[in-house]
A and B are shown apart, each in its own frame.
Chain A
């Protein structure tokens, strides 16, 4: 299946409701949807278009909003993007369609604080147990600490 063909079929199926659908490179298609349609579009791309493989789920902090991107497909890769408000970052989990999303959603939850509705086990994955609640290292307002380097012979 060609890139244009995929864009055409997605446009045909969802029409006006899509915010954007375009080819962004060789074997790369980008689709932007409103958050309430995110799960439906992911299901359509994975099942009806037969791309079935979830590459990963990325979370991005865009400043005023957070963005979730699902990368679907083995050869041709469709990026399904959606924006959610920063003060209430909630989105439907896609684990029941693509079980592989489980760990990727936990990662986005852990590092960006995105809540995935319907995720079976949304707990910490990478951050330590004593990491403070509500601090998300991949958000732009978080800046990492810079501990003083240890120097030989110095007082530290």
Chain B
């Protein structure tokens, strides 16, 4: 006899609202239905009614953690439409900040993953070390989370003078820590018992289900947008694509640990070979993009991110389509959660399997977060802000 267990939309194992309806027979999961609609904000429509420069801010807010990937993808798209390319220094700076945000995302995920497994100490350790990355992001971009660093035609500010030495110190520290974590993960029986052989997704299944990112690489497929479709200096900065043949949750942990180390090396290389010159092109805030279409792909921390834009020659995009990595991966979660053949999936396996893809529901449904922090002596009206964003009259805050 089977019955249904709802997990969500609000549940301690979910960071964001998502509904899993599990059909179980005893402890065994036999069927799953997933609902990701709780955070839909209509951002694609929102992008159609805004000039390109305002869309940048909206695109950046599709996801808090991968904001850097979204803004980069948006900028690449608009630059493609305009037939321009960011100067070499900007490409390297974009790469540095992108890799920093990948490290921050992976460390956050690792901490949270071990938290869902009940390993609280490791959670604290990872999040403490993540603070070093956040400090570096703040030093370079001026912001901790939503970096607002990429802009159409380059980046918004140059690398501060004192940043390089500090950045190198932080990277040395993190490299040591990653060696330690590697040892903990390999030697801790609790972690091995909860992750090895759990949530198996074979290579062929991973491809046909369209999975992307670390999740795909943990199934032994060597695909990385940075390698296959280099977009921001990735053809010049050497790096290894980390893969693992385990095809299970353990492999997903190992891939992300390895990717943090790769990011450290990439940033070091980029600092060593940072080109001189301009860090942004001068592009007026309001412009018309020539008629055409462009497709940009970025390897976000969670996997391949696709932005597809169509211009009809106006100041706004005619259509802007976003495909986020979690939407691509959620389908494989449904597949992995079902027991089939000799592969048995238990209720206790739900957190490691769902957590294994690094789910980001707000990405998937594209929500909008509002912020009311910008209040000083007077409140700016929407019209003021709009003028300000288009580079018109300067408004004193």
- Give A contacts to B, CB under 8 Å: 24-25, 27-28, 30, 52-56, 58, 60-61, 69, 71, 74-75, 77, 79, 98-104, 107, 111, 124-128, 137-138, 142, 144, 149
Contacts and interface: CB of A to CB of B under 8 A. Distances in A.
- Between B45, B80, B210, the greatest number of chain A beta carbons within 10 A of the residue's beta carbon is seen for B210
Nearest to A124: B37
B42 interface: yes
B209 interface: yes
A127 B37 contact: yes
Nearest to A30: B293
Given A74-B223, A100-B331, A144-B42, A60 B319 contact: yes
Contact of B365 (A28, A98, A126): A126
B40 interface: yes
Contacts of A77: 229, 295, 297
Contacts of B297: 55, 77
B365 A71 contact: no
A30, A54, A55: which has the most chain B beta carbons within 10 Å? A55
B330 A103 contact: yes
Interface residues of B, number: 33
Nearest to A151: B379
Contacts, number: 83
Contacts of A124: 37
A107 B36 CA distance: 11
Nearest to B44: A138
Among A27, A56, A79, A111, find the residue whose CB has the most chain B CB atoms closer than 10 A.
Answer: A56
Contacts of B304: 55
Nearest to B304: A55
B308 A69 contact: yes
Given A27-B229, A107-B327, 8 more contacts: A55-B304, A56-B321, A71-B306, A98-B210, A99-B208, A99-B331, A100-B331, A138-B45
Interface string B200-228: 00000001111000000000000100001
B115 interface: no
B36 A75 contact: no
A126 B228 contact: no
B209 A99 contact: yes
A153 B196 CA distance: 57
Interface in B290-349: 293-295, 297, 304, 306, 308, 310, 319, 321, 323, 327-328, 330-331
28 contacts: A25-B294, A27-B229, A28-B295, A30-B293, A53-B207, A54-B210, A56-B306, A58-B308, A58-B319, A58-B321, A60-B310, A69-B308, A71-B308, A79-B295, A98-B208, A98-B210, A99-B331, A100-B208, A103-B330, A104-B327, A125-B36, A126-B37, A127-B40, A128-B37, A128-B40, A144-B42, A144-B45, A149-B382
Contact of A99 (B37, B40, B210, B293): B210
Contacts of A149: 382
Interface of B: 36-37, 40, 42, 44-46, 49, 80, 207-210, 223, 228-229, 293-295, 297, 304, 306, 308, 310, 319, 321, 323, 327-328, 330-331, 365, 382
A37 B323 CA distance: 25
Contacts of B40: 126-128
Of A25, A74, A102, A144, most buried by chain B (CB within 10 Å of CB) is: A74
Given A71-B308, A125-B37, A144-B42, A61 B229 contact: no
A102 B306 CA distance: 17
Contact of A103 (B46, B80, B208, B327): B327
A104 B37 contact: no
Contacts of B49: 144
- Please list the 9 inter-chain residue pairs (A to B) with the smallest Cβ-Cβ separation, ordered nearest first: A100-B210, A75-B228, A56-B323, A126-B40, A58-B321, A60-B319, A126-B37, A54-B210, A74-B223
A71 B45 contact: no
Most chain B CB atoms below 10 A, which of A30, A75, A100 = A100
A100 B328 contact: yes
B293 A102 contact: no
Given A100-B331, A144-B45, A55 B37 contact: no
B330 A100 contact: no
A144 B41 CA distance: 11
Contacts of B323: 55-56, 58, 104
A100 B229 CA distance: 21
Nearest to A100: B210
Contacts of B42: 137, 144
Contacts of A54: 210
Nearest to B205: A99
A75 B323 CA distance: 16
A53 to B, nearest CB: 6
A74 B293 contact: no
A52 B147 CA distance: 35
